[in-house]
């Protein structure tokens, strides 16, 4: 989603802003822009990628040591040059960049229009900067005070940076329900919507809290106050993020790099937590809440997208091992349907980014009803982990490709550890089964490594199927969420329509779609439903569908009926999602590349969905 980067210091701002915008590209966007102040306020913006913006500014004046930059993901108004940020105020003395949505912008706009304000774009953002200027000019207050007063009038979400021609030595930033982080360098400051554009310059950062305003000076100390005018001393944290983690490391795309990172990211998710020799699973982050989980009347998992699919695996795990009833909810549905939730419920919120607006709202709702909230997030220091009572980070490292891959397997790893820990504490799992599972979990990174060796086989399949219009993905039990995830990966990045279905449910609808042009990917690994899935395969074959089966090594039965097979190592049934999703990620990746799609930044999608 929209990205923010800003700089104030003694260096040239433009290269820092452009580099920062490139780093933010992964969030998904459709236009980009910068504003640089050097006596004059120069604003350049255009539809399309940051590279277009660079072309656009080639022979333009871009020098200056203070500036702001933005990548926009359209909400109010089409993605075009005019709606792109930054936006000017009425007099063109102020400019703003904004992430989020000002919900009452239409009312404010009408008022301002009555007072002679003229608007050029369809955006809510332009309204906000006009409002700020209106206060600034009419109330004759300092800029930060004008921003503060304006923000008391708006309803909605914002992360903003304001730059003013009259104040060449300061930036004003503020946030509510949309993240904003300030990098504290030596004699310079950076502002960004996440830490990725900052870490190559400084690791010292301040995360602004909701309804805080920062006055960021060229020289001197950062000042923070709330929109209720309370001064807050800045809390500087040191990030551990490494720059290499944000780069492609020789891979053609971030997505492929991240698929290949999975043996390591799964291992990192277990590091220090799974100690097979001692028969231990430790999750320090939830220790104080273990009793609460064990005694929970119910666990409700809230999430969106891929994280919701991980949640489904979590449902199977917790019910199977810990014998606690689980419901998995789309956060966006949960938050608006007056759910029955109370003090005996434990809510597990799963989110890669830790910023998803719907998941955050679902958490707030459940919290207000007295439920205990446990987070499973990847981005350290993001909003969700700061909002939950307790939680466990996934430690997958930064995920840049919009289509989630390593975050999904890391989420499942953490869910597996949690379910095992709780089950053992509760006594709902036998010792032998517990040891069997922890030893097998320890083998998973090596097994994923083996699956990655199938890359060329998967690529061959991609060549065969790259031009089809539809795909069906089937699985049962633990493999059902994997079928959903496989289908989601394909549609996200290749734009081929794909559906995931429980294999047996196919006969209640999707079977009508099957003909000789329909590829059907079936996860048919060894386990309780193996025979049943084999029968589902026969049903597809009888209608001439093309079967691509993911099978366990040395499988004989399914192989006879499938058109194509990818073998994966044998593992315990409950751990199958961790390895069976890998060939499906690779299949989606290769098909998308062969179709010439932008794999890392698919059209219309955003990495971090900070609006509802």
Active site residues: 2, 607
Of 154 and 592, which CB lies nearer to ligand G6P in the complex structure? 592
Decide: is 580 part of the binding site for ligand G6P (CB under 6 A).
Answer: no
CB of 237 to ligand G6P, least distance (A): 21
Q: In terms of CB distance, is 130 or 406 closer to ligand G6P?
A: 406
CA 322, CA 193: separation in Å to the nearest integer? 39
Show contacts with ligand G6P in window 214-243 (CB under 6 A).
Answer: none
Report in angstroms how near the CB of residue 305 gets to ligand G6P at its nearest: 3
Q: Smallest distance from the beta carbon of 67 to ligand G6P, in angstroms?
A: 29
Residue with tokens 């196919």: 506
* Torsion sign, CA atoms 588, 590, 596, 600: positive
Size of the site for ligand G6P (CB under 6 A): 17
Please choose, from the candidates 123, 160, 167, 159, the residue with its C-alpha nearest in 3D space to the C-alpha of residue 141. Answer: 167
**3-state class of 147 per DSSP?**
helix
Q: What gap in Å lies between CA 583 and CA 586, rounded to an integer?
A: 5
Nearer to ligand G6P, 351 or 536 (CB): 351
Name the phi and psi angles at 264, rounded to 5.
-75, -40
* Among the listed residues 13, 161, 402, 588, the single contact to ligand G6P using CB under 6 A: 402
Pick from 56, 44, 120: nearest CA to 85: 44
Query: 86 vs 398, which CB is nearer to ligand G6P?
Result: 398
**Pairing state between β 546-552 and 519-524:** parallel
> Is 609 a residue that touches ligand G6P (CB under 6 A)?
yes
CA 469/CA 343 separation, integer angstroms: 48
DSSP H or E run through 407: helix 406-426
DSSP letters spanning 365-414: HHHHTT-EEEEEESSTT-HHHHHSSEEEE-------SSS-SHHHHHHHHH
3-state SS, residue 383: helix
Candidates 178, 404, 525, 536; binder of ligand G6P (CB under 6 A) is 404
For ligand G6P, give the closer residue by CB, 99 or 306.
306
Count helices and strands in the chain by DSSP H and E runs: 19, 27
Contact predicate 448/568, CB 8 Å: no
The interface mask with ligand G6P, positions 266-305, x = CB under 6 A, is --------------------------------------xx
Query: Smallest distance, Å, CB 313 to ligand G6P?
Result: 14
Please identify which residue in 70, 447, 607, 610 interacts with ligand G6P, judged by CB under 6 A.
607
Using the minimum distance from each CB to ligand G6P, give the nearer residue, 555 or 600. Answer: 600
- Give just the sign of the alpha carbon dihedral 383, 384, 385, 386: positive
**253 lies in the binding site for ligand G6P (CB under 6 A):** no
For 169-289, where are the alpha helices, taking DSSP H only?
254-260, 262-270
Q: Report the residue from 306, 413, 494, 580 that binds ligand G6P according to the rule CB under 6 A.
A: 306
Number of Cβ atoms within 10 Å of the Cβ of 542: 10
Structure-token match 């604003």, residue found: 43
Q: How many residues does the chain have?
A: 612
* Residue span 321-360 as binding mask against ligand G6P, x where in contact by CB under 6 A, dash where not: ------------------------------xxx--x--x-
Residue 307 binds ligand G6P (CB under 6 A):
yes
CA 88 – CA 321 distance, rounded (Å):
57
Which of 69, 305 has the CB closer to ligand G6P? 305
Site string for ligand G6P, 359-398 (x = CB under 6 A): x---------------------------------------
In this chain, which residue has its C-beta nearest to ligand G6P?
A: 305
**Least Å from the CB of residue 356 to ligand G6P:** 3
Asked if 404 contacts 259 with a C-beta cutoff of 8 angstroms, the reply is no
Query: Does 199 participate in binding ligand G6P (rule CB under 6 A)?
Result: no
Q: Which of 137, 141, 239, 605 binds ligand G6P (CB under 6 A)?
A: 605
* Distance in angstroms (rounded) separating the CA atoms of residues 478 and 33: 45
Binding site for ligand G6P (CB under 6 A): 304-307, 351-353, 356, 359, 402-404, 605-609
């Amino acid at each position: 989603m929209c990205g923010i980067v800003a700089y104030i210091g003694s260096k040239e701002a433009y290269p820092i802003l452009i580099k920062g915008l490139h780093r933010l590209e992964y969030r998904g966007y459709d236009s980009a822009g910068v504003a640089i102040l050097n006596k004059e306020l120069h604003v350049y913006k255009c539809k399309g990628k940051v590279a277009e913006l660079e072309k656009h500014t080639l022979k333009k004046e871009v020098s200056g040591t203070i500036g702001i930059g933005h990548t926009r993901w359209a909400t109010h108004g089409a993605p075009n040059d005019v709606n792109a940020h930054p936006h000017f105020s009425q007099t063109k003395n102020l400019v703003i960049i904004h992430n989020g949505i000002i919900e009452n912008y239409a009312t404010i706009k009408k008022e301002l229009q009555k007072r002679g304000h003229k608007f050029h774009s369809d955006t809510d953002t332009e309204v906000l900067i006009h409002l700020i200027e209106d206060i600034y000019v009419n109330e004759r207050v300092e800029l930060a005070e004008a921003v503060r007063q304006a923000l008391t009038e708006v309803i909605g979400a914002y992360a903003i940076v304001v730059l003013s021609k009259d104040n060449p030595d300061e930036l004003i930033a503020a946030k509510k329900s949309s993240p904003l982080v300030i990098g504290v360098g030596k004699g310079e400051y950076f502002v960004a919507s996440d830490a990725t554009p900052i870490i190559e310059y400084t690791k010292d950062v301040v995360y602004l809290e909701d309804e805080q305003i920062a006055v960021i000076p060229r020289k001197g100390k950062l000042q923070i106050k709330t929109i209720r005018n309370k001064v807050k001393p800045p809390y500087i944290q040191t990030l551990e993020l490494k720059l290499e983690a944000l780069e492609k490391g020789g891979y053609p795309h971030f997505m492929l790099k991240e698929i290949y990172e999975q043996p390591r990211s799964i291992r990192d998710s277990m590091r220090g937590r799974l100690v097979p020799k001692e028969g231990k699973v430790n999750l320090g982050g939830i220790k104080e809440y273990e009793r609460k989980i064990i005694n929970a009347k119910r666990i409700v998992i809230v999430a969106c997208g891929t994280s919701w699919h991980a949640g489904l695996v979590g449902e199977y795990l917790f019910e199977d091992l810990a014998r606690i009833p689980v419901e998995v909810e789309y956060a966006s549905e949960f938050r608006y349907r007056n759910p029955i939730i109370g003090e005996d419920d434990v809510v597990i919120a799963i989110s890669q980014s830790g910023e998803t607006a719907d998941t955050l709202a679902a958490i707030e709702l459940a919290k207000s009803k007295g439920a205990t909230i446990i987070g499973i997030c990847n981005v350290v220091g993001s909003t969700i982990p700061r909002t939950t009572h307790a939680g466990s980070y996934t430690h997958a490292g930064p995920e840049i490709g919009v289509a989630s891959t390593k975050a999904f397997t890391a989420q499942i790893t953490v869910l597996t550890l949690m379910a095992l820990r709780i089950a053992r504490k509760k006594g709902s799992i036998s010792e032998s089964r517990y040891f069997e599972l922890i030893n097998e979990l320890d083998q998973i990174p090596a097994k994923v490594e083996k699956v990655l060796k199938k890359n060329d086989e998967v690529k061959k399949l991609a060549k065969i199927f790259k031009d089809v219009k539809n795909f069906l993905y089937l699985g049962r039990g633990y493999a059902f969420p994997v079928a959903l995830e496989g289908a989601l990966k394909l549609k996200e990045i290749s734009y081929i329509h794909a559906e995931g279905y429980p294999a047996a449910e196919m006969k209640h609808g999707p079977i009508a779609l099957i003909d000789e042009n329909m590829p059907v990917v079936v996860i048919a690994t060894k386990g309780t439903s193996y025979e049943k899935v084999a029968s589902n395969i026969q049903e597809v074959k009888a209608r001439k569908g093309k079967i691509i089966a993911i099978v366990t090594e040395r499988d004989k039965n399914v192989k006879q009926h499938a058109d194509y097979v990818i073998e994966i190592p044998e593992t315990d049934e409950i751990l199958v999602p961790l390895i069976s999703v890998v060939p499906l990620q690779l299949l989606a990746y290769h098909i998308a590349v062969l179709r010439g799609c932008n794999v890392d930044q698919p059209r219309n999608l955003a990495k971090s969905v900070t609006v509802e």
